[in-house]
Structure 1
Amino acid sequence: MSDILPFCQVKLQYLLDLVLDQSLDDNAFRVAAYLALTHADHDTGECHPSFETIGTALGRHAKSVKRALNKPEMARHLTVVRGTNRGNASRYRPTEDALRRATQRRREGDKIVPLSRVKEGQSCPPEGTHLSGKGGQERPPNREKELKPRTTAAAPDLPGKGQSGTAPARSAPPSPLVFVPQGICFARDWNDRLAQEGLATLDRSLPLAVNGPHRGFWVPARSPAPRGSPEWREQVRQLRCLAGKEAGKLEQRHAG
Structure 2
Amino acid sequence: MTERRPFREVKLQWLRLLSCDANVNDNAKCVALYIVTAHVNGHTEKAWPSYKTIAEATGKSVKSVQRAIRDLEIGEWLSVQRGNGVGHNTEYCPTDASILKASELREKTDKSVPLPPSEGGQICPERRSDMSGKGGQICPPNLEKEINKKLNAREARVKPVSRRSIPIVVLPKAQTRQVDEWNAWLAEKTLPNLARFDLATNVNGSSGYRLPFRWPPEADSDKERDCLSYFLNRLPAAEHQPSSEAAYRQAA
In the alignment, what sits opposite 2:25? 25
Contact 1:50 1:90 in 2 (8 A): yes
Determine whether 1:89 maps to 2:89: yes
Q: Structure 2 length normalisation: TM-score?
A: 0.51
How far is 1:62 from its partner? 1.4
Determine whether 1:218 maps to 2:195: yes
Distance 2:55 2:194 in 1: 23
Match of 1:71, SS state, is helix
In the alignment, what sits opposite 1:111? 111
Distance 1:232 1:188 in 2: 11
Contact 2:46 2:92 in 1 (8 A): yes
Structure 1 residues 53 and 102: CA distance shift in structure 2, 3 A: same
How far is 1:236 from its partner? 3.5
How far is 1:165 from its partner? 7.8
- Identity of matched residues, %: 28
1:98-121 deviation line (CA, Å, top 9, x unaligned): 11111111112211032463399x
Deviating more after overlay: 25-34 vs 40-49:
40-49
Amino acid at match of 1:220: F
Aligned residues between the structures:
170
Match of 2:195, SS state, is strand
Structure 1 residues 104 and 60: CA distance shift in structure 2, 3 A: same
Q: Which one has the largest radius of gyration?
A: 1
Q: Structure 1 length normalisation: TM-score?
A: 0.50
Contact 1:7 1:44 in 2 (8 A): no
Structure 1 residues 217 and 118: CA distance shift in structure 2, 3 A: closer
How far is 1:237 from its partner? 2.9
How far is 1:31 from its partner? 0.9
How far is 1:231 from its partner? 5.8
In the alignment, what sits opposite 2:38? 38
How far is 1:81 from its partner? 0.9
The correspondence of residues 64-75 of structure 1 with structure 2, limited to 5 A, is 64-75=64-75
How far is 1:73 from its partner? 0.5
Structure 1 residues 18 and 44: CA distance shift in structure 2, 3 A: farther
Amino acid at match of 2:40: A
How far is 1:5 from its partner? 0.9
In the alignment, what sits opposite 2:187? 186
Contact 2:48 2:92 in 1 (8 A): yes
Distance 2:188 2:106 in 1: 22
Structure 1 residues 188 and 86: CA distance shift in structure 2, 3 A: farther
How far is 1:34 from its partner? 1.7
Contact 1:13 1:102 in 2 (8 A): yes
In the alignment, what sits opposite 2:51? 51
